[in-house]
Amino acid sequence: MIPVDSTVDRFDTGRFEAGRSRLASLAYRLLGSATDAEDAVQDAFLHWQAADREHIRVPEAWLTKVVTNLCLDRLRSAQARRERTAGAWLPEPLLDGDPMLGPADTFEQRESVSLAVLTLMERLSPVERAVYVLREAFSHSHAEIAEILGISESASQQHLHRARGRVSAGRRRGGQETDPASARRVVEEFLAAATSGRTDRLVALLTDDVTALSDGAGGLSKKLLRYETRERVAAVVRAGFKPTDAKRRFAGGTATIHYAILNGAPAILFVPGGKVAGAVTFDLVDGRIETVRGIAAPDRLVRLNESWRRHDAGEPLIAEW
């Protein structure tokens, strides 16, 4: 016979687990890191276990409040401020279909988890970021947000207004979605031009104000590398996509190159020996590339690799690089 306390504990654990994916997607949007999001959710579980659960009337609301405030504590920490203000930070990319990406029914929900908006949200204060995510991605009312954050409804409305303004101002163009077939075609043309040395075609695929960002070959640089102008970006891309023995040794062997969707955006993955060693993502505007992001820091690819191992990769764009 199972003791009563054990039965209750299993029931309460089940209630937490039923909402784990939603909590993780909330934490990911707030932190931009899957690893940190998982840690925040696990901390929330410890809070849940220690709480007087009989007096928690709405567990989902209680857990949302706990996770949000745990994430705010992380965003306010001295370590997070050092890392993010030093210019050595890019969001952690997630493979299409990862439950941590969360709700994606509306354009606003899909946009709020894009790498572009996750990066722009670094301009927001922690409270502004929380209000923006809770409202745009999870459709909470201002009354609910006020309860979660311990602020007034009018303050919530003001924070949202400022957050929307800052995110909008950070966009060089209004948010838009590209149809999947067109996005893949542009990326395939980019890859063909980058690997063949066709500089003129590569330049033609880039917007006039294109920007390329890289964490510096897996984090070897302490700061993000940033490149601007079509000619400069094209030159960096050509050099980066030229295979060499040194690059293969660094990556862990000869790689296949695959097309993928990361955070709703087209991307290519470098995969030596079945393990993702690097990701390049693209923001597209009117059929051209506005932003290129290169991510190769191993700690930013952990969850992506876990998803990739379960993913049907299909035929690679390049079988041997």
Measure the CA–CA gap between 314 and 226, rounded to whole angstroms. 32
Tokens representing residue 6 in the block: 């054990």
Instruction: Give me 300's structure tokens.
Output: 């930013």
Asked whether residue 149 is assigned to any structural domain, the reply reads yes
Same domain, 14 and 146: yes
Q: What CATH number has the domain bearing residue 209?
A: 3.10.450.50
User: For the segment 163-185, what is each residue's pLDDT rounded down to a tens digit?
Assistant: 999 998 887 665 567 789 999 99
Cα separation, 311 vs 88, whole angstroms: 29
DSSP 210: E
The pLDDT value recorded for residue 80 is: 66
Tell me: do 145 and 224 sit in the same domain.
no
The band of 252, judged by pLDDT with boundaries at 50, 70 and 90, is confident
Residue 132 shares a structural domain with residue 186 = no
Of 169, 189, 205, which residue is a domain's last?
169
Domain presence at residue 221: yes
Three-class DSSP category at 187? helix
User: What pLDDT, on a 0 to 100 scale, did the predictor assign at position 177?
Assistant: 74
Predicted pLDDT at 4: 40
The CA–CA distances, whole Å, from 186 to 159, 191, 208 equal 37, 9, 16
Q: Are residues 202 and 291 in the same domain?
A: yes
Written as six digits, the tokens of 229 are 């102008």
Q: Note the pLDDT tens digit of each residue in 25-51.
A: 999 999 999 999 999 999 999 999 888
Q: What is the pLDDT of residue 215?
A: 87
Instruction: Output the DSSP codes for 9-45.
Output: HHHHHHHHHHTHHHHHHHHHHHHS-HHHHHHHHHHHH
- Say if residue 147's pLDDT is above 80: yes
Contact 67, 44 (CB under 8 A): yes
Q: How far is CA 291 from the centre of its chain?
A: 15
- Tell me, what amino acid is at 223? K
- Using the predicted structure, report yes or no on whether residue 79 has a pLDDT greater than 80: no
**CA separation for the pair 16, 11 (Å, rounded):** 9
Per-residue model confidence as pLDDT tens digits over 173-228: 655 677 899 999 999 999 999 999 788 999 999 999 999 999 876 555 667 899 99
Contacts of 3 (CB under 8 A, 6+ apart): none
Q: Considering the entire predicted model, what is its pTM?
A: 0.90
Domain extent for 79: 4-169
Check if the beta carbon of residue 165 is closer than 8 Å to that of residue 125: no
The DSSP result for 38-107, as a single string, is HHHHHHHHHHHHHS-GGG-S-HHHHHHHHHHHHHHHHHHSHHHHHHHHTT---PPP-BTT-GGG---SSH
User: Would you say residue 315 lies in a domain?
Assistant: no
174 located within any domain: no
Q: How many Å separate Cα 129 from the centre of its chain?
A: 14
At residue 7, the pLDDT reads 52
Please state, for a pLDDT cut of 90, what percent of the chain lies above it: 69
Residues 300 and 35: their CA atoms lie apart, in Å, by 8
Question: Per-residue pLDDT for 2 more than 50?
Answer: no
> According to the model, what pLDDT value does residue 83 have?
62
Identify the residue with better confidence: 145 or 177.
Answer: 145
Same domain, 104 and 185: no
From 111, 143, 169, the end of a domain falls on 169
Please report whether residue 85 resides in a domain. Answer: yes
143 has a pLDDT exceeding 90: yes
Domain count, the chain: 2
CATH of the domain at 75: 1.20.140
Question: End of a domain among 134, 169, 204?
Answer: 169
The yes-or-no verdict on residue 78 having pLDDT over 90 is: no
CA-based torsion, 33, 38, 41, 46: positive or negative = negative
pLDDT in tens, 84-123: 655 567 899 999 999 999 988 888 899 989 999 999 998 8
